């Protein structure tokens, strides 16, 4: 691959995404405030940078994958940030999940420096980041999307242009609402089954092929049965996404009563010490209320 790509943010999602770019043959420069993942990717063939600015100086396309709006803003607009080092004509792809308005504001600042921008948040969690099969939702100019497609397809199996800048993050908010409500519905149903003395494992097998079946059910139910709540996608990050969804919806005059209810469940779990658990741990909220546990049957 001829284009030099930079990657900023090598967390649970960013590190495997960057690794897939290396596997696809891209010349990759990486930066993170935590040294260990940088060292790991350098061992795999990447070049280390000491700042976001240095990543931008060495790259034609700069990707950010960071926790929230403040981190993206700092990495792009802050001292020694992307815009301090990016050449005119460079393409910035923010793959973080942030507020749509923030994407538009950052894009406007980038445009003043001659830097183009796409917002391209992802869905699929760590397993699909590792596999390179993420769903990627992209907002920005169609020409910029066309230019970025081959890079994005190295990390995702579904890459969709949604609309103008900020549209990718609107799609991600819709995604996160549906995922949260699906996990909550699954949790309610399986706690009911467990309390009734019926095997949640067998209920899952009975319903997964019908209308109640879903990608969320198949991704999360096996982990719940194993009591595996290592992220994945952390509860604290889903709280962040639902906060962005609620704020955006309220600004637009759109009530989100179901999302608000799940937000309070997530907040209760955070207070209870589960902020860094996978969002599949929503089941533990219902288990605590019903005094029952959803788990696989023990083999004799």
Looking at the annotation, which residues are catalytic?
172
- In sequence order, what DSSP letters do the residues of 121-183 get, joined into one string? -EESHHHHHHHT-EEEEEES-HHHHHHHHHHHHTTEEEEEEEESTTHHHHHHHHHHHHHHHHH
CB atoms within 10 A of CB 183: 26
Cβ-count burial of 169 within 10 angstroms (0-12 exposed, 13-18 middle, 19+ buried)? buried
Cα distance between residue 177 and residue 165, in whole Å: 20
Read off the tokens for 119. 């917002």
CB atoms within 10 A of CB 247: 14
CB atoms within 10 A of CB 232: 21
For helices 282-290 and 257-269, angle between their N-to-C axes, nearest 10 degrees: 80
Read off the tokens for 239. 């709280």
Angle of CA points 261, 262, 266, to nearest 5°: 125
For helices 167-195 and 257-269, angle between their N-to-C axes, nearest 10 degrees: 70
Helix (H, G, I), strand (E, B) or coil at 226: coil
Q: Which residue has the tokens 């194993």?
A: 226
In 3D space, the residue among 156, 149, 74 whose CA is nearest the CA of residue 118 turns out to be: 149
* Whether the Cβ atoms of residue 55 and residue 30 lie closer than 8 Å to each other: yes
């Amino acid at each position: 691959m001829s284009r030099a790509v930079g990657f900023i943010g090598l967390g649970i999602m960013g590190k495997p995404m960057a690794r897939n770019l290396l596997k696809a043959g891209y010349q990759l420069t990486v930066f993170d405030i935590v040294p260990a993942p940088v060292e790991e990717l350098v061992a795999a063939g990447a070049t280390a940078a000491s700042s976001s600015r240095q990543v931008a100086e060495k790259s034609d396309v700069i990707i950010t994958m960071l926790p929230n709006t403040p981190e993206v803003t700092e990495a792009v607009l802050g001292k020694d940030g992307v815009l301090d080092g990016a050449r005119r004509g460079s393409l910035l792809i923010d793959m973080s999940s942030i507020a749509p308005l923030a994407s538009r504001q950052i894009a406007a600042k980038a445009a003043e420096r001659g830097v183009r921008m796409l917002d391209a948040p992802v869905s699929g969690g760590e397993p699909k980041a590792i596999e390179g099969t993420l769903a990627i939702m992209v907002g920005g100019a169609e020409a910029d999307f066309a230019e970025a497609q081959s890079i994005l397809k190295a990390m995702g199996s579904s890459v969709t242009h949604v609309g103008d800048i900020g549209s990718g993050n609107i799609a991600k908010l819709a995604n996160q609402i549906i995922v949260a409500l699906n996990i909550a519905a699954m949790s309610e149903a399986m706690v009911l089954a467990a309390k009734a003395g019926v095997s949640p494992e067998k209920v899952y097998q009975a319903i997964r092929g019908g209308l109640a079946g879903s990608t969320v059910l198949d991704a999360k139910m096996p982990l719940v049965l194993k009591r595996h709540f290592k992220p994945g996608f952390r509860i604290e990050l889903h709280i962040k996404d639902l906060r962005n969804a609620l704020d955006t919806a309220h600004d637009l005059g759109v009530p989100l009563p179901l999302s608000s209810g799940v937000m309070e469940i997530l907040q209760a779990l955070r207070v209870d010490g589960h902020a860094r658990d996978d969002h599949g741990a929503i089941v533990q909220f219902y288990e605590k209320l019903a005094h029952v546990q959803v788990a696989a049957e023990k083999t004799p």
